[in-house]
């Protein structure tokens, strides 16, 4: 079957139009996927925020171990959000700062408790606190060993 110029032009235009429709559909699908991914990341970030604020509440109640566990979970969630935005980086920094403060509070509390126990001649209790400090603050374990002696 032979095609004249007009039939050929019409067929070519029809094919090009179909290709454009397919390309537009692919662009729409890509945009939808990108939008869904953005929403997923925002959801993960909100979950991490909730964990962080629960950790802050636990610190206020002196539930330090609970706070540390919540901060660890929030950090994992923030990292899952996979964003290099300044907002997320600041949130990760805040997690680390709060965790450092918690460890400092724990160390201060246990050291104070050990001193009180020692002053009250509760040497076994003082020893318990100092051994906990050695685990918690490994960098200063030798100082705690000196207090144990």
Output the pLDDT for position 16.
57
CA atoms of 108 and 136, how far apart (whole Å): 11
Asked whether residue 38 carries a pLDDT value surpassing 70, the answer given is: yes
Query: What's the predicted TM-score (pTM) here?
Result: 0.69
Question: 112-149 pLDDT, tens per residue?
Answer: 998 898 888 888 998 898 888 888 888 888 888 887 77
Q: Which residue has better confidence, 11 or 51?
A: 51
CA atoms of 16 and 21, how far apart (whole Å): 9
Question: 82-121 pLDDT, tens per residue?
Answer: 776 788 889 999 999 999 999 999 989 988 998 898 888 8
CA atoms of 22 and 14, how far apart (whole Å): 13
Whether the Cβ atoms of residue 83 and residue 46 lie closer than 8 Å to each other: no
- Residue 81 has phi, psi (to 5 degrees) of -65, -20
Output the pLDDT for position 33.
79
């Amino acid at each position: 079957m032979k095609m004249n110029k007009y039939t050929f032009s019409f067929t070519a235009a029809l094919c090009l139009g179909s290709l454009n429709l397919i390309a537009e559909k692919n662009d729409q699908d890509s945009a939808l996927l990108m939008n869904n991914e953005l929403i997923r990341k925002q959801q993960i970030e909100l979950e991490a925020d909730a964990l962080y604020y629960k950790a802050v509440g636990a610190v206020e109640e002196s539930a330090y171990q609970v706070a540390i566990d919540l901060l660890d979970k929030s950090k994992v969630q923030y990292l899952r959000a996979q964003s290099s935005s300044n907002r997320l980086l600041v949130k990760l920094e805040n997690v680390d700062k709060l965790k450092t403060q918690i460890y400092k509070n724990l160390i201060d509390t246990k050291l104070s408790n050990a001193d009180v126990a020692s002053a009250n001649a509760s040497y076994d209790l003082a020893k318990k606190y100092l051994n906990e400090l050695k685990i918690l603050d490994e960098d200063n374990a030798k100082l705690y060993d000196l207090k144990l002696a």
